[in-house]
Amino acid sequence: MQGRVVDLTKVNDPAFSSGSMGQGLAIVPDQGVLLAPVNGTVAIVAKTKHAVAMVSEEGMELLMHVGIDTVKLKGRHFTPLVKAGDIVRMGDVLMKFDLKQIITEGFEPLTPIIITNGDDKTRVTVISESQVKMKEHLANITQN
């Protein structure tokens, strides 16, 4: 995903910013395209099409949630291009979404990317809160 990286604590949704769902980061997208951040297997595409979960080749479980409260859109403006069980490579398109329409309808497009199977020792350190392009290194993940 291309856009501006934001520390997860700055997300305007306590489910994400508190870290209760897991450690991670968020991206303010420039384009309406969600890309696979790692090589792995798609685990779930939400029925409301706004979120995709996957498992990396190393066993890390990731949730990519396009927008804040976008579940309320009930699938409008989201076009998943994968399904559960699909094997994907870093950079593959997982979903397209109408960024302009999501914003027009009053939703924040900020996209949290969360490690859902981490523990209290999992740390995600954002390298820089700046603009990023596809396949750029965004953060360091450690188990202390």
Taking residue 128's Cβ as centre, other Cβ atoms within 10 Å add up to 11
Q: Does the annotation mark 65 as catalytic? A: yes
Identify each DSSP E strand in 18-138 by its residue range.
Answer: 23-29, 33-35, 40-45, 51-56, 61-65, 78-80, 87-88, 93-97, 111-115, 122-126, 131-132
The residue annotated as part of the active site, out of 50, 65, 77, 137, is 65
Could you give the residue ranges of the DSSP H alpha helices within 8-77?
A: 14-17
Q: Are 2 and 34 in contact (CB under 8 A)?
A: no
Give the distance from CA 91 to its chain's centroid.
13
Tracing tokens 């999992």 back to the chain, one arrives at: 122
Q: Specify whether the CB–CB gap between 22 and 116 falls below 8 A.
A: yes
Residues that are catalytic: 65
